[in-house]
Amino acid sequence: MEKRTWTPPQLLELSGGYWSTCTLHAGVKLGVFTPLSGEPLAAQELAGRINCDSRGLAMLLNALAAMELLEKRGDAYAATPFAAEYLSRTSPYYLGHIIMHHHHLMSGWANLDKAVQSGAPIRERASHEDVESSRESFLMGMFNLAMQIAPKIVPAIDLSGRRRLLDLGGGPGTYAIHFCQQNPELSAVICDLATTRVFAEQTVERFGLSERISFVERDFEAEDLPAGFDVAWLSHVLHGVGPQTCAAVLKKAVSALEPGGLILVQEFILEDTRDAPLFPALFSLNMLLGTPDGQAYSQGELIAMLALAGATDLRRIPLQLPNGAGVIAGTVPGTGK
């Protein structure tokens, strides 16, 4: 792969890039795109609707217009078609949850140097309201991301003849939903913490799959898993914990499968040299900021952990996914599919 050649302007653009990021975050947090998707409004009129200072809001709207997320028409502003589709809360394609999750991460990233010096996560005390808001942004942000990528993954995985899928750490259940939509004979169980249940059940109900997808409360790091599955799907579960916990979770997942069962692990996968691709390398820092021992793992590490857990026929499914994501598959020894 050709190495990048840096220039001083590129370096300074990168250094100040958070200005645009914070402008987007403020627009989403204040909810400016939703009313502006319905009709053009002047800054003063919109300020009254969303309880903002009109002068400050006008500056924000002008910046968003300069970023081409809004259109300015005289004194009025309107959402662009793209912003109306992805940044209005009334749109089914709304991506504001994942954007707000990124917003909640920013204070930690501003203290990355301290995390690197200490080798420990940077955590800030938050009110109950902030914790609830962060949890919703995280879980539904995962829904936002999975809705983008699941249609690329699910059709490429043959689950014909399989009947029961375990979506371990499934959050709102986006992948369980897509696997069940793709495979009419499949049922699924989302296994996650109790705080996730309401988001999962609401999402499953929205897709009309409540009769085929259920939820089981488990702290899967500390508790045993339900059994009797022929597929286990672990999407972005392992990077939150260290290698020893990964090994324990994978062993539980393999034990939950019948002989011949299929285990599937999706992660942001590093090359074995650990210095590429860029996103998994940066994502390891994100785990440093937020977890005691989480990290991104290389393909070799993931395959070795799956082998240690008892899986065989280990292979990476050929998929072109963003951000260095990949899916590694393995089979539980014994008769079966």
pLDDT in tens, 95-124: 999 999 999 999 999 999 999 999 999 876
Note if 239 is an active site residue. Answer: yes
Residue-level pLDDT at 336:
57
Residue 124 located in a structural domain: no
Residue 107 located in a structural domain: no
Rounded (10°) CA dihedral 207, 212, 217, 222: -110
Rounded (10°) CA dihedral 138, 141, 147, 150: -40
Where residue 62 sits, what CATH number does that domain have? 1.10.10.10
Residues 299 and 237 in one domain: yes
As a three-state string, the secondary structure of 229-282 is: EEEEEEECCHHHCCHHHHHHHHHHHHHCEEEEEEEEEEEEEECCCCCCCHHHHH
Where residue 286 sits, what CATH number does that domain have? 3.40.50.150
Residue-level pLDDT at 284:
97
* 128 pLDDT higher than 60: no
pLDDT in tens, 211-260: 999 999 999 999 999 999 999 999 999 999 999 999 999 999 999 999 99
Residue-level pLDDT at 126:
45
Q: Write the DSSP symbol of residue 190.
A: E
Match 């005390």 to its residue by tokens: 125
Name 118's Cβ contacts closer than 8 Å, sequence gap at least 6.
none
Residues 193 and 263 in one domain: yes
Which of these, 185, 175, 173, lies nearest to 152 by C-alpha position? 175
Residue 36 to residue 57: CA distance in whole angstroms: 13
* 129 pLDDT higher than 80: no
Which residue range forms the structural domain that includes residue 53?
8-94
25, 101, 178, 239: which one is catalytic? 239
* 2 pLDDT higher than 80: no
Number of domains in the chain: 2
Q: Write the DSSP symbol of residue 18.
A: H
Sorting pLDDT into bands at 50, 70 and 90, what band is 134? confident
Answer whether 250's CB lies under 8 Å from 306's CB: yes
Residues 219 and 81 in one domain: no
